[in-house]
A and B are shown apart, each in its own frame.
Chain A
Amino acid sequence: MNIFRTALLLAQKDLYSELKTKQIMVTQIIFAGLVIVVFSFAFDPANNTTKAVIPGVIWVIIVFAGILGLNRSFISEQRNDTMQGLLVAPMEAASIYLGKFIANFAMMLIVELVSIPFLFLLFDFKFYGSIPYFILVVFLGSFGFIAIGTFLAALAANSKSSEMLLPLLLFPITTPILIGVVQATRIILTNMEKFSSAVAWIQLVTAYDIIFFVVCFLLIDYVLEV
């Protein structure tokens, strides 16, 4: 498929330039570490009740670190005036979106891979639940968040103050995904008896992912118009 080939090419370009500069990912990881430290002030790690907020903290880290990366993905194209080049290149808008999405998603997964074990380590969290399901939930949640986030970043990039606009657009739209994913994470990490409702939440998040991925795919043509 032509769309996927160009998308992969674009993602490769983004990831390659990221590998050279290491600008965004280092910032994201350091930021995630700082958020963990701030949370250790807010909730005493020695206290036993702190275990209850861990699922929420995981998603706060992902959301805030994700916003940093999403902000950069289209702004950096505009700084270098390469957006126009991408738009007039012989490829569809959908493949620009897909390429950016793949790049952001890959970076997000790497950040999660580093910061979530770090969080468990620092808060001395004993893992009772099932690891494969935890990974599945994190994967699905980040997928939906980055999918809609990349789309809205492309939309907000038209504004001069897009760094401020993006969170305002993104947070209300992603509330269902955040609710679903926090609930599912909480059940999987602490209370495996209620596993059936975790499955229901995973289904909700999956449905959201599919619906919004398709909607973004259809509407991206209108956002990325010359």
Chain B
Amino acid sequence: MEEKKIIKVKCFRFDPHKDEKPYYDTFEVPISGKMSVQDCLVYIRENEDPSLAFFINCRLGFCKRCLIRVNGKSCFSCLTNVEEDITVEPLIKDKIIRDLWSKNS
């Protein structure tokens, strides 16, 4: 079997209706097999915090809508492999609807 490894995903959080300013939540995600940033976010939403807002659709690089910032670099979340701890932020930090999804997404 594949070896399992726990990584930390530090996530940008912001609900403009509730929060005065953005903050970060850190989640532990078990990595088993090659996983994408999006797989980690799905794991968090299904197991840790269902309120996390992010974009998901085709999961395989077709829709090109899941642009996100990982460790400061812009990328598609479904196409980006995760091996170590990461920091996940929206592409643009203004006009946030919630968390990782801005009005321009």
Please say whether chains A and B are actual partners in one complex.
no
